[in-house]
Amino acid sequence: MFLVTGATGTAGGEVVRALSGRPVRALVRRADVAVPGAQAVVGDLNDPGSLATAFDGVSAVFLLSGYADMPGLLARARKAGVQRVVLLSGGSAALEDLDNAVSRYMTLSERAVRESGLDWTLLRPRAFMSNALRWLPQLRAGDSVRVQYPRVRTACVDPRDIAAVAVRALGGGHEGRTYELTGPEPLLPAEQVAVLARVLGRDLRAVELSDEETRAEMAQSMPPAYVDAFARFYADGTLDEATVHPDVAEVTGRPPRTFGQWARDHACVFR
């Protein structure tokens, strides 16, 4: 039995779909939430004591980073008989910058996993291609798309490719490995908008925000510590998200999906 956390979200949802046909349990926070293709079990990652039922009979866990007591959570998992954990962190874990709120939670989560006594695999995806869904309200309102940190290229990755790697790691044979998960090409935000324009057959225009405008826009949807963290990554340039890594292809045996593929497969959401 596999346990997938974050199963109602983007990455975990793709992991559940990729595990189709296998016994899967999905951690949910509310009893009225169903996850197609999985047995839902209620628990809260911020409360390791709530996870006993979720871990029962589980061999491997797909785990999100950044919860209140990651060492305690992992100790519970081990005690319950879990053998393996596949942790979703991110590229900024490599910075080990404990003064940066995002790098901090990823670094500390990775450390907790390494020290857990469980078999582990670390997944460090770069920006998800699905982050483009944030532009939906603007695309519904018109043809202009305000783009944040317009000079920053990211080798953004399709969440389905994250899931494809996760499923292989959950099955074993990838113990002690850290995978840098990227798409096949580094793209500027405006280049992503141009791809969307072609796919949707629309005359879209990217409006490039200054760093200050970006900060102000981000502050509307995230805590100040995260706004600062992203400013350090992208305005100060502490994080390289542009380098393309071979890991998706090496693990899955096929090239990572392009942003064009992601956009075509999600075009109906934008229409």
Q: Pattern of binders to ligand NAP over 4-43, x per CB under 6 A?
A: -xxxxxxxx--------------x-x--------------
Q: State which H helix or E strand residue 4 sits in.
A: strand 2-4
Q: CB nearer to ligand NAP: give 47 or 115.
A: 47
Of 73, 19, 13, 82, which Cα lies nearest the Cα of 43? Answer: 73
| 38, 63, 88, 209: which one binds ligand NAP (CB under 6 A) | 88
Nearer to ligand NAP, 87 or 145 (CB): 87
Told to check if 46 binds ligand NAP by CB under 6 A, we report yes
Instruction: Pick between residue 31 and residue 268 the one whose CB is nearest to ligand NAP.
Output: 31
For residue 124, give both structure tokens: 């460090």
Report the distance separating Cα 158 and Cα 265, nearest Å.
11
**Residue 44 interacting with ligand NAP (CB under 6 A):** yes
Q: Note whether 65 binds ligand NAP by CB under 6 A.
A: yes
What CA–CA distances, in Å, run from 235 to 17, 89, 101, 226, 263? Answer: 36, 21, 16, 13, 27
Size of the site for ligand NAP (CB under 6 A): 23
Query: Residue 35 to residues 50, 64, 163, 228, 241: CA-CA distances in angstroms?
Result: 19, 17, 16, 34, 32
Residues in the chain: 271
Contact between 138 and ligand NAP by CB under 6 A: the answer reads: no
Q: Which residue is nearest to ligand NAP (CB)?
A: 9
Q: What is the nearest approach in angstroms of ligand NAP to the Cβ of residue 216?
A: 20
Residue 129 CB, nearest distance to ligand NAP (Å)? 9
Which one, of 196, 193, 182, lies nearest residue 257 by Cα?
182
Look-up of token digits 């102000």 = 216
Residue 203 CB, shortest distance to ligand NAP, in Å, is 27
Q: Interface with ligand NAP by CB under 6 A: which range of 59-67, 183-191, 199-207, 231-239?
A: 59-67
Angle at alpha carbon of residue 190, lines to 100 and 220, rounded to 5°: 45
- Single residue of 54, 127, 227, 251 touching ligand NAP by CB under 6 A: 127
Task: Give residue 15's Cα distance to chain centre.
Answer: 11
Residues making contact with ligand NAP (CB under 6 A): 5-12, 27, 29, 44-46, 64-67, 88, 90, 125, 127-128, 131
